[in-house]
Amino acid sequence: MSKTVKNMIMRDYTSRLEGTSDAMVISIRGMKAIDTTKLRGVLRKKQIKVQVIRNSLARQAFKGTGLEGLGELLTGPSALAFGGASVVEVAREIVNVLKDFPTLELKGAILDGTLFKGDKGVKELSKYPTKAEAVGQVVTLLVSPGRKLAAQIKGPGSNIAGLIKAIEEKLEKGETISKM
């Protein structure tokens, strides 16, 4: 392959992955073309892209980016899965489709500079919360003490309001109110 073609491929990788700092490396070796097309279709519905890459050119294109850590995973036939809301979502979707495509190999993923190697690492990553879920958990933790405090303050007032309402109803019916 000529140097010009190699440079074109690296520019293509750079332009496609611009702004992407988290991705996953898989191997689709052994998958039939029909299965590969089905896999891409399933992932496309979740805005996840799969790009078959040339390892040495990808390593060069990834230098100085958030994907540089994936270089050590680029051996043998490799494809890059990226997109979606985050790499956690990508990992979840690919782990979910493993039962339909058992020949799919999980090589690893990178999230915020942390490398998750192999099948075990990707499955661990798939259990992480996405950014939106993590923000929701933090908000819940921040709001819950205030919610409990408001309930404690409101409680006695609700009791008094209930008693006043009961007294009002008895007086409207003409009943007498006895002392307790």
**Cα-atom radius of gyration of the chain, to the nearest Å?**
28
Residue 6: CB atoms within 10 A of its CB come to: 14
Please give the pLDDT value at position 77.
86
Is residue 130 classed exposed, middle or buried when 0-12, 13-18 and 19+ CB atoms within 10 A define those classes? middle
Please give the pLDDT value at position 67.
82
- For residues 12 and 7, give the distance between their C-alpha atoms in angstroms, rounded to a whole number: 9
Please give the pLDDT value at position 46.
87
Q: Rounded to two decimals, what is the model's pTM?
A: 0.69
Alpha helices, DSSP H only, in 47-180? Answer: 55-62, 87-97, 118-126, 131-173
Please give the pLDDT value at position 179.
66
Q: Tens of pLDDT along the chain (180 residues)? A: 788 888 888 888 888 777 777 888 988 888 888 888 888 888 888 888 888 888 888 888 888 888 888 888 888 888 888 887 788 888 888 888 888 888 888 888 888 888 888 888 888 888 877 777 777 877 777 777 777 777 777 777 777 878 788 888 888 887 777 765
